[in-house]
Structure 1
Amino acid sequence: MTLPAHPGSVAPVSPLRAPSTTLPPEPLPAPLTPAGARRKLRAARRARKLYEREEVRRFTWRSRRRRNVWLGSLGIVAALVAFVLLGTFSPLMALRTIEVVGANRVPAEQIQSALDGQLGTPLPLVDFAEVKQELSAFTLIQSYVTESRPPNTLVVRIVEREPIGALVTASGFDLVDAAGVVIQSSAERPAGYATIDARAGVGSAGFRAATAVIAALPADIRSSLDTVTAATKDDVTLTLAGGARVVWGSAERSDFKAVVLAALIVTNPVGSVGEYDVSSPDSAVLR
């Protein structure tokens, strides 16, 4: 029985309830039949084959790339080898001309004739050891350099020995360079060259001192030299045309001594004095 509400009171409110919802149950997987199993197996095999095909394609692409790089490198090397072989052994590079530069006392034709055994040889294969051996027979050649000028020219640049004075011999005179190498022999004294009297012989300290002094003289004084005497390296004495003597001493400071001598000759010409002593160039003496 429901009691009447008291005047002024509020009737209690019953709480609201959410409507209940029930999710439908998930369907159970269909049972695997033999036919379904075979379909899944075929699909797995196809996926495996696709994967393997992609892996093979990726691997073979890298292999082809490496192979192409190797083939390209080998092709470049082969081309370079072919170019070198063609340039080395080609008849177009065969030596046909030998050009000699700087030969005055030695006839250039003689040098060319001595080296004509190299003609026809490919320029890169010229036997320079044989060239050296052939040129060493020319005593007037002091040094030389060769220059290959493609396609078929060999240039030989010669530096000849420079005569410095004459040595008196039993048969006449030998014109020699500073090393004592005979440049020419003659019965008469070579014009324009002083005679060298080195009592210890060619190659001695006296001979080396005498040639060093001659080389230091200016051209006008050298042309007026008559004799140079040097028993040792410290007693070089010059005799000028006209009879004046020059006491030189050792070959040390020869450049300065030459300047002092030239000045003395200007102020005291040859013939006005009998001796110029420049052995101590800072205090030269006239006699």
Structure 2
Amino acid sequence: MERSDPLLALCGETRGHGDDDGCRRCHLDRALALGFSARNWGSHLDFGYFGFAVKRVRWVVGVFGAIALITGFILIIWFSAVFDVRTVKVTGLGPSSTQAVREALPDLTGQPLSRVTKEPIEQAVRAVAPEAASVTLQRSWPHTLVISVRPRIAVLNVRTPAGGQWADAEGVVFGPMNRPKHNLPLLIIGARQSRVDGDRQLAVLEATTVLAALPPAARQRLDSISISRPDQITLRLSRGVSVLWGDLAETQRKATILQALLPQKAARYDLSVPSVPTTAGQEKRS
């Protein structure tokens, strides 16, 4: 018997089935698995390319959708008033300086929060608060701009023929004129050092370097540092004690020697030549 039926063609023989109908039923599932159409048993449909095309279309649509979403989000953040400035906070300064900064700031209300730049704000802060060491901006979404100011910490009162200010540990002179802090030692810069900005700045740096190296026992008693020229630094401690420091050479060694000599309670210590330190007199009784 000729096997013109596609299902029968799948089977090489009919033995064990009894007839062609049995063979056809036996191999129906196999025919469907191979992709035969129910309407045309002789045609085989390959869905591989169609599936690939569908996946590719989905991928393209997803990419363009993501791009559109990101673009819309950027436009909203950068240009719209959805996230604009409505509140400005200033932190890190005292009440009077904070109020001065608020009055000096440019008008930020209504600007997109993401487009606020640091430079004009920092200039306004430094113009009215010279004690500001750094200025940072923080955006607290959706409508608050926080201006954080890190103030300088004064470690010395600085006195020059032009007046007095403060100096921080980095040697930066700042603060109002002639308003010394009573708990800080005084730096006295000679007239010659004060005439040139570079020399004055160098003197301040020398003083802060010595101050940082001093042992605690000497730092607590320090009343003043005098610098008449770069190689002549003199410290004045409480009870009338003076320390001739000399220049900045071997500063750490001089500090160690001073710590060892202080128990002698001398009135004068000469550390200008640290290999041959000398002492003289007795300090005043408290």
Q: 1:210 and 1:105 mapped to 2: Cα distance?
A: 31
2:86 to 76, 87, 96: 96
Counterpart of 1:226, as a letter, is D
The amino acid of 1:203's aligned partner reads G
In structure 1, the residue corresponding to 2:228 is in which secondary structure?
coil
Indicate the SS of the match to 2:240. coil
Unpaired runs of 5+ in structure 2?
A: 1-42, 281-286
**Greater C-alpha Rg:** 1
Query: What are the within-5 Å matches in structure 2 for residues 58-137 of structure 1?
Result: 66-104=56-94, 107-115=97-105, 117-137=107-127
What SS class does the counterpart of residue 226 from structure 1 fall into?
strand
Once residues 218 and 230 of structure 2 are traced to their aligned partners in structure 1, the CA distance between those partners, rounded to angstroms, is: 21
Pair 155,218 (structure 1): closer, same or farther in 2 beyond 3 Å:
farther
How many residue pairs align between the two structures?
229
Is the 1:96–1:153 contact (alpha carbons within 8 Å) kept by the matching residues of 2? yes
CA distance 1:222–1:184, change in 2 (3 Å): farther
Residues in 2 aligned to 1:65 and 1:131: alpha-carbon distance in whole angstroms: 52
- TM score, norm. by length of structure 1: 0.65
Secondary structure of 1:84's match? helix
Q: How far off its partner does 1:87 sit?
A: 3.2
- TM-score relative to the length of structure 2: 0.65
- Are residue 146 (structure 1) and residue 129 (structure 2) matched? no
Report deviation, 1:246.
0.4
2:277 is aligned with what amino acid? A
Match of 1:160 in 2: 151
Aligned counterpart, 2:272 = 279
2:161 to 169, 175, 178: 169
2:229 match: secondary structure: coil
Deviations 1:216-245 (A, max 9, x none): 335663453333222333321112233221
> Could you tell me how far apart the structure 2 residues matched to 1:96 and 1:242 are?
58
The answer as to whether partners of 1:139 and 1:181 remain within 8 angstroms in 2 is: no
1:253 and 1:154 map into 2 onto residues whose CA distance is 48
Asked whether the equivalents of residues 118 and 127 of structure 1 are also in contact (C-alpha less than 8 Å), the reply is no
CA–CA distance in structure 1, aligned partners of residues 212 and 96 of structure 2:
23
How far apart, in 2, do the equivalents of 1:256 and 1:73 lie? 68
Residue ranges of structure 1 left out of the alignment (5+ in a row): 1-50
Q: Give me the identity figure in percent.
A: 26
CA shift for structure 1 position 103? 1.9
RMSD after superposition:
3.4
Sort the Cα spacing of 1:106 and 1:220 in 2 relative to 1 into closer, same or farther, 3 A: farther
On the 8 A contact 1:166/1:190 being kept in 2, the answer is: no
Q: What amino acid sits opposite 1:159 in the alignment? A: R
CA–CA separation in structure 2 for the residues paired with 1:143 and 1:113? 19
Q: 1:95-147, CA deviations, whole angstroms, 9 ceiling, x for partnerless residues? A: 23333332249622222333352232222111222223222313221222222
